[in-house]
Amino acid sequence: MDIILCHTTADFDSLGAAVGLTRLHPGARIVLTGGAHPGVEEFLRLHRDEYAIVERRSVNPDQLRSLFVVDTQSRDRLGKAAEWFDAPQLQGVYLYDHHPGVSGDIPASERQIEDIGATTTLIVEALQRQNINLTVYEATVMALGIHVDSGSLTFDHSTARDALALAWLMNQGASLPLIAEYIEPGLSDSLQDLLATALETVNSEEVWGQQVASVVLRTPDYVPGLSGLTSRLLELTDSDAMILLHEYQRQGDESRLTVIARSQIPQTDLNAILQTIGGGGHRKAGSAQLRNANPEEVLRQLRDRLNAQIPPPPTARELMSSPVRTIRPQTTIGEAHRILLRYGHSGLSVVNQADELVGVISRRDLDIALHHGFHHAPVKGYMTRNVKTISPDTLLPEIEGLMVTFDIGRLPVLDEGALVGIVTRTDVLRELHEESRQLCPIHPERESQGRRLTREADVWQGLRSHLNPKLWQLLETAAQAAQERGWQLYLVGGAVRDLLRGMQSPQQTEVALTDIDLVVDGFHQSATVGAGVELANVLQEQFSGARLDVHGAFQTAALLWHNDPVFDSLWLDIATARTEFYPYPAANPEVEASSIRQDLYRRDFTINALAIRLTTPRQGKLLDFFGGVLDLQRGWVRVLHANSFIEDPTRIFRAVRFAVRFEFEIEPETERFIRHAIASGVYERSRSLNPRTPALQARLKSELKYLLQASYWPRALRELDRLGALQCLHPQLRLTRELWRRLQLADRGLRRFQKWHRLSHWRMLLEVLLSQVETGTGEFSRAAVAQQLQLPDETVQRLATLGERRERLERELSTAQRPSEVVKVLSGEELAGLLLVALGMGRSLRGKVWQYLTEWAEVKPLLNGEDLKQLGYTPGPQFKEMLADIQAGTLDGEFGGSREAAIAFVRDRYPL
């Protein structure tokens, strides 16, 4: 176990550096050795679950491997955790600090102490060197560490390195509103006096859970710096929006009115509001200057317009995950921990036999119980019984207040006593800190031409304008049917990815979609696993040209149109939201009903884990829990989970397919995960231990088909070879120069010669790949690999006999000098097998085969059976010999293309 120690009364720099180290050392856990500053404590009340923080008492000192210490060099500042330095099995102690010249007493095996503004900067530089990317919450807490310890780069010990580190963290998505919430800039003395007046006269009202404040100040003269005063008022009054009006009158002049507005409410646009009175600004900040205006009337107009922009906050029903994973009070601590690991939850709800909620148990509770050896004890002894609950209609502000006030990480949602969902800190954080979405153009060089999507309405309008009207009608019909049944409906996956790319193109063209996935969410409102089938039946009644297919135990439904006059060829897949679990590597996943969040979490890459809500409320809401939009802008293929390739090797081939198809790059950490999965040997072990490995069989064949039938297959194969991924087919398979030559020859022939078109192009390329595998026995033979990929029997047989056939044909062709002799050797061979054999031959013999395939096999004899009858010959066994001689003479050019010469030959050789 690797542990990262923050000093007692931890500040943001200590916490930020520790969070960064968890990315440099995956699996490491953070221990706060003795409390934290008030600001850090407040921050962690809502954000604790985003970081790998564990209780000191849950750490077993006997299992310690390495210790990392940040922002201190003294044992005294580590409380009781300082005792861990004496653990005999400890392999190393690593210290990071930014206080040079301090005499420390920590027995560090390695130290990095440099004179810079913050310890966090050291960790940021290490993350940059290793090309590691951060989540928004990781970047935010690290940025806070640098801001606080460097005085936002104003303290004397701040350096350019701190500034560069902050810039990088901003690029990683650090939340500026959240940073501003925990940093307090100062006001001048004159503004401090005005602040006191403002605090006495400020008015506030609540609009949909948002506090909207306003104040009118009057002074004899103009007062500079009111912008900072407005921001401070916003903080001190704990408001979400503030409108400040300042009226003053210069001597001999008319009255002047300055308007300054600030808003932290995501959907508001102050620029649009202030433009109505001749001002302007940004969405979250704006100002205006007026003459001889009535302050009270101006304020009334501005507040009415601002209030109209504030959307109703989401309810628990919109935020919650459903169905809820529950356990009984008698469930053991060990089993509960196993369930948490399987589903990736941070807590579980406990229900009695009547499915009534009786308690909640968190991961921290389970960790401590396991630490004390209570593996077989029931959870009822450790669960929290006094559970705070909410209803489906509880608004987000109230949910947030409960979590912060009571330091609760999850709130069960009860509907008439029934447990229908759960809202977690993560659900709240996503909603609170999701910035107004600004999707930059995919191509930065065309930014001025690209369209920006900033609100749900923008996404909805962009979706509508880029879809075929008939397809738009289909989606609207599906959404209406889902809404009538109390469900939410989402457009998910590749269709969203392609639409977003199309929306960001300067050309407002229609995006062609041939494969669409819809997901029904709303299990708590009777959306059963058969919801997809029910919805598909409704659609088929209105769009009768579709064929309905229902497949799988999970009742996924698909509507298919083929050469339809309206939809052309379209596949519409509809399923209920689900989660999945892989029982072993390369297996088929076990699937269960779940929520849209879990459904997106099970997908492969961030750019495919996107969804757009098609139903109200919040129609057009873009769900992006993993930074997929940012990766689309960067041009990255980034995997969602570190173990993704271990569980499903076909994702390696999909990663390459998307990277080559979109001209993206595989994100560096994703590439490391790929290489680790391949080097681990997990696929070979899974093959030997399990009777079925679908991800190395049928599903892998499907991915190979997608790759090899695409125009970009040469680049894809080179990338697979660079990653070592061809080993998923065979441990020794490499894209050698010889194999590359054979693939190019095969591709050229398959495209050039018309009669070869009856061969499956992609399958022949795959056979060429497999033909390079060294002849072996058992699971590593060519035929065994083909069989494992579930290729046709003829392919398996062809590869099984390839070596013998090549040896025989090389031997016979080496003595065949005349065209007729070559034809005699090759005429009985099937086309696909002959092509495979020829690719492995030397140039001379390959030339004979090539000439046979492209020329000699098509040569017809100058005389046929009817001609021989007319010449007076009686049909019989001799006919076959005569025709063979005529064919040979024709091929060898003995007749010079003359029928008369052929007739003379027959009469001479076979006199009547």
pLDDT at residue 450, rounded to an integer? 38
- The residue to which tokens 């009334």 are assigned: 300
Nearest-angstrom CA–CA distance, 154 and 165 = 15
Encode pLDDT of 681-708 as tens digits.
877 777 777 767 766 788 888 999 999 9
pLDDT at residue 113, rounded to an integer? 92
Encode pLDDT of 502-533 as tens digits.
887 656 678 888 899 999 986 555 445 678 88
Q: Which of 552, 571, 385, 555 is nearest to 474 (CA)?
A: 571
Nearest-angstrom CA–CA distance, 805 and 837 = 7
Q: Which of 474, 475, 514 is nearest to 620 (CA)?
A: 475
Percent of the chain's residues with pLDDT above 90 = 47
- For 572, other C-beta atoms within 10 Å of its C-beta total 24
Nearest-angstrom CA–CA distance, 768 and 435 = 51
Give the phi and the psi of residue 99 in degrees, each rounded to 5.
-120, 80
Q: Which of 282, 276, 210, 274 is nearest to 245 (CA)?
A: 274
Give the phi and the psi of residue 472 in degrees, each rounded to 5.
-60, -40
**pLDDT higher at 409 or 743:** 743
Query: Token pair for residue 687?
Result: 């093959």
Query: Token pair for residue 93?
Result: 């102690």
Task: Over range 644-666, report the average pLDDT.
Answer: 93
SS3 2: strand
Q: If you count DSSP H runs as helices and E runs as strands, how many of each does the chain have, helices first?
A: 38, 27
- The DSSP result for 293-343, as a single string, is --HHHHHHHHHHHHHHHPPPPPBHHHH-BSSPPEE-TT-BHHHHHHHHHHH
Query: Token pair for residue 215?
Result: 């104040």
pLDDT at residue 272, rounded to an integer? 87
Nearest-angstrom CA–CA distance, 109 and 298 = 67
Cis peptide before 177 (omega within 30 of 0): no
- Across the beta sheet with 347-351, the strand order is 326-327, 347-351, 357-362
Counted residue by residue, the chain has a size of 912
Average pLDDT, the chain: 86
For the cut 70, the answer to whether the pLDDT of residue 554 exceeds it is no
pLDDT at residue 448, rounded to an integer? 33
66-70 vs 410-415, strand pairing mode: unpaired
Task: Over range 713-723, report the average pLDDT.
Answer: 96
Task: Over range 435-444, report the average pLDDT.
Answer: 42
| 287: β partners | 260, 280
For the cut 90, the answer to whether the pLDDT of residue 875 exceeds it is no
Give the phi and the psi of residue 454 in degrees, each rounded to 5.
-115, -20
For the cut 80, the answer to whether the pLDDT of residue 805 exceeds it is yes
| CB 340 within 8 Å of CB 348 | yes
Percent of the chain's residues with pLDDT above 70 = 91
| CB 216 within 8 Å of CB 296 | yes
Encode pLDDT of 68-107 as tens digits.
999 999 898 899 999 999 999 999 999 999 877 667 899 9
Nearest-angstrom CA–CA distance, 669 and 193 = 53
Q: Which of 362, 423, 426 is nearest to 390 (CA)?
A: 423
pLDDT at residue 684, rounded to an integer? 76
pLDDT bucket at 877, cuts 50 / 70 / 90 = confident
Q: What is the dihedral of CA 6, 9, 12, 14, to 10 degrees?
A: -20
pLDDT bucket at 115, cuts 50 / 70 / 90 = confident
- For 530, other C-beta atoms within 10 Å of its C-beta total 16
| CB 655 within 8 Å of CB 670 | yes
For the cut 90, the answer to whether the pLDDT of residue 459 exceeds it is no
**pLDDT higher at 99 or 383:** 383
pLDDT at residue 762, rounded to an integer? 93
pLDDT at residue 303, rounded to an integer? 96
- The dihedral of CA 790, 795, 799, 800: what is its sign? positive
| 559: β partners | 548, 572
Cis peptide before 323 (omega within 30 of 0): yes
SS3 42: helix
For the cut 60, the answer to whether the pLDDT of residue 826 exceeds it is yes
| 93: β partners | 67
Encode pLDDT of 10-24 as tens digits.
889 999 999 999 999
pLDDT bucket at 408, cuts 50 / 70 / 90 = confident
Encode pLDDT of 130-148 as tens digits.
999 999 999 999 999 999 8
pLDDT at residue 717, rounded to an integer? 96
Encode pLDDT of 352-368 as tens digits.
999 899 999 988 899 99
pLDDT at residue 327, rounded to an integer? 93
Q: Which of 862, 864, 865, 849 is nearest to 891 (CA)?
A: 862
Encode pLDDT of 159-210 as tens digits.
999 999 999 999 999 998 889 888 754 566 677 788 889 999 999 999 988 8
| CB 70 within 8 Å of CB 78 | no
**pLDDT higher at 756 or 413:** 413
Q: Which of 159, 154, 152, 162 is nearest to 122 (CA)?
A: 162
SS3 205: strand
Which range, 310-324, 507-521, 582-596, 890-904, is most confident? 890-904
